[in-house]
Amino acid sequence: MKLSAAEEVLMHYLWRRERAFMKDLLEAYPAPKPAPTTVATLLKRMSTKGLVGYREVGSSREYYPLIAQQAYCATHVEGLIKNFFNNSKAQFASFFTSQANLTTQELEALQQIIQAQLEQKKP
C-alpha cells in the first residue's frame, strides 16, 4: 500500500478533515490549486488501492480515509527499517537519535517514552 507523493498530500488533507467533499479538499490546497480533475483522479486511484472510501450524497461524494494515518505511517517505518537498517529497530533508533540533531528536551522525552514502554513490558 504505497501512495504517490501527490496522493500522500491529498491523504493528509483527508486525514485532517476525516470526511470531506471534493470542494473541501480543493480548498485545503494552497495556491496554485490543482485542477478538480486531478484531485478526482487521485481520489479514484486511492479508492482503487483501498485507502479511501466514499458515500454518495445527492450528486456528490463524501470521501473518508479507510486507513488511519498512524497505521499508514507504521507500515512505512517498518519498510524503512527492513530495507535500510537490516530489519533492526535498534539500528534505526540509534541512527535516528544520532542523526536527527535532537535537542536535549527531545532526547529526554524519548527516554521517558522508552522507560514507559519498558515498564509495560515487565511481567
Q: How do residues 24-60 score in pLDDT, each as one tens digit?
A: 999 999 999 999 999 999 999 999 999 999 999 999 9
* CB-count burial class (<10 Å; 0-12, 13-18, 19+) for 71: exposed
Of 17, 1, 3, 117, give the one whose Cα is nearest residue 64.
17
For residue 110, give its domain range. Answer: 69-121
- Which residues are registered as beta bridge partners of 56? 61
Q: Coil, helix or strand for 54? A: strand
- The per-residue pLDDT for 72 is 93
Q: What CATH code is carried by the domain that includes residue 45?
A: 1.10.10.10
Residue 1 has pLDDT above 80, yes or no: no
pTM for this model (two decimals): 0.78
Domain edge (last residue) among 41, 65, 89: 65
Q: Are residues 17 and 60 located together in one domain of the fold? A: yes
